[in-house]
C-alpha cells in the first residue's frame, strides 16, 4: 500500500493551486478584443459568460447575479460590502499562513509562499482593475489599481507605522534606547519612543532598494522621451520580478522574521499554560465577573511560587513552578519556558522577578489573551478558549531543537486540513469579489465625480491591510524591542511586496494590454514616502514619539500632492 501523503506535500500542492489558479478566477467578465465590436452599442459579437447585463439599470451584474447600481449611495454600500468580504479573505489568508508557518517552519515554503500569500488580495485587485473590458475601459479602471498600490504603501509607512510607535512606546533611557515594558512618561515627545534591532534596519534598506522598478519606468517621463516607453515598462517588469525572487530567496536563507513568529507562538503556549494553571490552582479567580484582573489573587500566586519567601522569584523557583504545570501532553522544555518567562517578566534585568514585575507581567498577559481571543467575555471560558487556541498552534510547531524532548501529540492532521481550507477559502473569496469591488469603486467614482484614484487610495487598503494592521498593533502593544522589531520588519516586508509583486502585476497589465503609463504623480508619492522613510529607518534603531507625527503627516500630504500635480499642473 502506498504511504499516505504528508501534510507538507499536501500543503505544497495547495499553495501551487492558490498561486496559479487564483489569477484565472479573479475577473468576473471576459477579455474583450480591442478590435471589432468592443465599443458603441449594445454588445457586438462578444459573449459574456460570467457577466450579464442588468435590464433597465444601466449597469452589469457581476457573474449574472451580484447586485449593481448607478446611484452614489448604492455603490457606497457595495464598496463597503465587497470591501468587508475582501477584508475577511485577507484574514483567512493570514490565519492560514500562520498555521502553515507553524506546520512547516521557516525555510522554502515560509520564504517563497508566505510573502506572496500576504500580498495576494492586493495583487488580485490590481490584476482585475486592468484585465477586463476594452483597452479604453482598462485604461480608466487601472487607475483604481494604482490607487490601491500607492494607498497601501503609504498607509503602511505612515498610519500603521506611526500607530505602532504610539502603541509600543516605552520610556527612553539616557542613551535614547527604549526600556522594555516601562511606560511612565506618557506622551513625552522626546522621553518616550520605541527601539528596534539592526536586522530591522536591514529590512528597511531592502524596502528602499525595492523602489528601483518605479524609477526605471519613470525614465521616459523624466527625460521627456517619445520612444522607448514599452521597453522601459518591460525592463521595469523584469527588474521587479528579479527583486521579488531575490527577496523570497533572502527570506529562505535568512528566515529570522519567520523564526521570531515561531518564538512568539511558543511564548503564547507557555503564557496560556501558566494562566490556565493559575486560574485553576490559585486562591481565587484571576478575573472577576466584570472581566477586571484580580490583583490580590495574582499576588497570592506570587507568594505561592516564592518558596523561600524572600520577595523575589529566582530561576529555580520559576522552573519548579513550570514543572508542576500540566501542558496536556504537549511537549514543553522547562528550561526554555523558564528562560522565556524570565526574559518577559524581569524588566529590571537583575536575574530575578520581583512582586511588582510579576503582577505587571501577569496583567499584560491577561490583556494580551483578551485581545487574542476577542470573544468579549472575560471569564474562565475566555481563558480556556485562549488555551485551546494556543495548544492547537503549539501542536504544529516543528521540533528542530535538540534540547527539546518529546513529541507533540495534538492533532496536526486536522489543523493541516484547517490551514488548507483557510487558504482556499481566502483565495476563493479574494478571486470572487475583487472584480465586483473594482466595479463598485469605478461606479461610485462616476456617480459622485470623485476621482477613482482617491477612493481606492483611501478605502481599498483598509479592506486588504486591516488584518495585517491589527496583528502589527497587537505585537507592538507588548512594548518589547523584540516584538517591535518583528512588527516593523513585517511592515517593511509588506511594502517590499507592494513594490515587487504588486508592481510586477501592474506592469504586466500595462505591457500586455498596451496601456499608457501616465502615473507620474502617483509614482512620485510612492518614491518620496518609501525613500524618506527607508533612509530614516535604515540608519537608526531608536524612534522617539515625535517621529510618529512626522509619519502621520505624510499621509495627507501625499493626497494633496497628487491633487495639485494632477489637477493644477496637469500631470495626469
Residues 375 and 497 placed together within one structural domain of the fold: no
Go through the chain and tell me how many residues it has.
572
Residues 163 and 301 placed together within one structural domain of the fold: no
Residue 3 within any structural domain of the chain:
no
pLDDT tens-digit readout, 409-435: 445 677 778 888 888 898 889 989 998
Residue 192 within any structural domain of the chain:
yes
Task: Please report the sign of the dihedral spanned by the C-alpha atoms of residue 242, residue 248, residue 250, residue 252.
Answer: negative
Residue 335 within any structural domain of the chain:
yes
pLDDT at 182: 86
Residue 155 within any structural domain of the chain:
yes
Residues 455 and 359 placed together within one structural domain of the fold: no
Residue 116 within any structural domain of the chain:
yes
SS3 174: coil
Residues 6+ apart with CB under 8 A from 264: 475, 483, 486
pLDDT at 409: 40
Residues 423 and 515 placed together within one structural domain of the fold: yes
Residue 200 within any structural domain of the chain:
yes
Residues 383 and 433 placed together within one structural domain of the fold: no
pLDDT at 399: 43
Among 391, 424, 444, the domain-final residue is: 391
pLDDT at 478: 82
Name all contacts of 353-359 with Cβ < 8 Å and 24+ positions apart.
353/312, 353/313, 353/318, 354/311, 354/312, 354/313, 355/299, 355/302, 355/311, 358/298, 358/302, 358/313, 359/295, 359/298, 359/299, 359/302
Residue 64 within any structural domain of the chain:
no
The DSSP string of 338-372 is HHHHHHHH-TT-SSSEEHHHHHHHHHHHHHHHHHH
**Cβ distance 464 to 125 under 8 Å?**
yes
Residues 320 and 444 placed together within one structural domain of the fold: no
Write out residues in the chain with pLDDT < 70, as ranges: 1-58, 101-112, 256-269, 280-284, 289-291, 324, 326-334, 371-412, 572
Q: Which helix (H) or strand (E) holds 52?
A: strand 51-54
**Cβ distance 144 to 452 under 8 Å?**
yes
423 closest CA partner among 12, 121, 105, 94: 94
Residue 427 within any structural domain of the chain:
yes
**Cβ distance 494 to 154 under 8 Å?**
no
Residues 279 and 251 placed together within one structural domain of the fold: no
pLDDT tens-digit readout, 543-555: 999 999 999 999 9
Residues 146 and 244 placed together within one structural domain of the fold: yes
Residues 93 and 223 placed together within one structural domain of the fold: yes
Number of compact structural domains in the chain:
2
Residues 434 and 558 placed together within one structural domain of the fold: yes
Residues 334 and 425 placed together within one structural domain of the fold: no
Residues 218 and 275 placed together within one structural domain of the fold: no
What CATH number is given to the structural domain containing 135?
1.20.1420.30
pLDDT at 189: 93
- Distances, alpha carbon 38 to alpha carbons 43, 136, 182, 442, 536, in Å: 7, 10, 64, 19, 49
Q: Which domain holds residue 340?
A: 263-391
Residue whose C-alpha cell is 500540566 = 326
Amino acid at each position: 500500500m502506498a504511504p499516505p501523503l504528508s501534510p507538507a506535500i499536501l500543503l505544497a500542492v495547495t499553495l501551487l493551486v492558490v498561486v496559479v489558479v487564483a489569477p484565472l478566477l479573479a475577473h468576473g467578465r471576459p477579455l474583450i478584443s480591442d478590435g471589432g465590436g468592443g465599443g458603441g452599442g449594445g454588445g457586438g459579437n462578444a459573449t459574456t459568460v460570467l457577466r450579464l447585463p442588468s435590464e433597465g439599470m444601466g449597469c452589469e451584474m457581476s457573474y449574472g447575479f451580484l447586485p449593481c447600481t448607478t446611484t452614489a449611495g448604492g455603490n457606497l454600500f457595495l464598496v463597503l460590502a465587497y470591501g468587508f468580504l475582501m477584508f475577511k479573505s485577507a484574514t483567512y489568508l493570514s490565519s492560514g499562513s500562520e498555521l502553515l508557518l507553524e506546520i512547516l517552519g521557516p525555510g522554502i515554503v515560509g520564504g517563497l509562499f508566505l510573502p506572496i500569500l500576504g500580498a495576494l488580495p492586493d495583487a488580485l485587485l490590481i490584476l482585475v482593475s486592468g484585465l477586463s473590458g476594452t483597452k479604453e475601459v482598462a485604461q480608466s479602471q487601472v487607475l483604481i489599481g494604482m490607487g490601491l498600490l500607492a494607498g497601501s504603501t503609504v498607509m503602511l509607512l505612515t498610519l500603521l507605522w506611526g500607530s505602532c510607535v504610539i502603541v509600543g512606546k516605552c520610556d527612553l533611557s539616557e542613551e535614547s534606547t527604549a526600556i522594555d515594558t516601562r511606560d511612565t512618561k506618557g506622551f513625552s515627545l522626546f522621553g518616550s519612543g520605541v527601539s528596534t534591532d539592526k536586522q530591522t534596519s536591514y529590512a528597511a534598506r531592502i524596502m528602499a532598494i525595492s523602489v528601483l522598478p518605479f524609477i526605471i519606468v519613470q525614465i521616459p517621463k523624466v527625460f521627456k522621451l517619445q520612444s522607448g516607453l514599452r521597453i522601459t515598462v518591460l525592463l521595469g517588469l523584469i527588474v521587479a520580478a528579479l527583486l521579488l525572487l531575490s527577496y523570497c530567496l533572502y527570506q529562505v536563507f535568512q528566515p529570522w522574521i519567520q523564526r521570531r513568529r515561531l518564538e512568539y507562538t511558543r511564548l503564547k503556549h507557555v503564557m496560556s499554560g501558566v494562566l490556565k494553571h493559575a486560574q485553576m490552582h490559585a486562591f481565587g479567580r484571576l478575573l472577576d465577573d466584570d472581566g477586571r484582573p484580580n490583583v490580590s489573587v495574582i499576588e497570592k500566586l506570587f507568594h505561592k511560587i516564592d518558596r523561600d519567601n524572600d520577595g523575589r522569584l529566582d530561576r529555580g523557583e520559576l522552573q519548579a513552578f513550570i514543572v508542576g504545570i500540566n501542558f496536556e501532553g504537549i511537549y514543553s522544555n522547562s528550561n526554555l519556558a523558564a528562560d522565556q518567562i524570565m526574559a518577559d517578566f524581569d524588566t529590571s534585568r537583575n536575574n530575578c522577578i520581583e512582586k511588582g514585575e510579576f503582577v505587571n507581567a501577569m496583567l499584560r498577559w491577561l490583556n494580551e489573551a483578551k485581545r487574542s481571543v476577542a470573544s468579549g467575555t472575560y471569564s474562565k471560558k475566555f481563558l480556556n478558549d485562549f488555551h485551546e487556541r494556543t495548544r492547537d498552534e503549539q501542536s504544529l510547531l516543528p521540533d528542530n531543537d535538540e534540547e527539546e524532548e518529546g513529541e507533540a501529540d495534538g492533532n496536526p492532521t486536522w489543523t493541516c486540513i484547517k490551514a488548507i481550507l483557510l487558504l482556499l477559502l481566502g483565495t476563493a473569496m479574494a478571486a470572487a469579489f475583487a472584480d465586483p469591488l473594482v466595479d463598485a469603486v469605478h461606479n461610485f467614482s462616476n456617480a459622485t465625480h470623485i476621482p477613482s484614484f482617491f477612493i481606492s487610495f483611501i478605502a481599498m487598503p483598509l479592506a486588504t491591510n486591516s488584518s495585517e494592521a491589527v496583528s502589527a498593533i497587537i505585537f507592538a502593544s507588548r512594548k518589547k524591542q523584540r516584538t517591535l522589531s518583528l512588527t516593523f520588519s513585517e511592515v517593511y516586508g509588506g511594502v517590499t511586496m507592494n513594490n515587487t509583486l504588486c508592481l510586477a502585476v501592474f506592469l504586466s497589465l500595462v505591457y500586455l494590454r498596451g496601456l499608457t503609463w501616465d502615473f507620474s504623480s502617483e509614482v512620485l508619492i510612492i518614491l518620496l514616502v518609501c525613500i524618506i522613510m527607508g533612509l530614516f529607518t535604515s540608519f537608526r534603531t531608536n524612534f522617539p514619539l515625535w517621529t510618529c507625527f512626522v509619519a502621520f503627516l505624510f499621509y495627507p500630504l501625499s493626497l494633496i500632492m497628487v491633487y495639485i500635480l494632477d489637477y493644477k499642473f496637469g500631470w495626469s
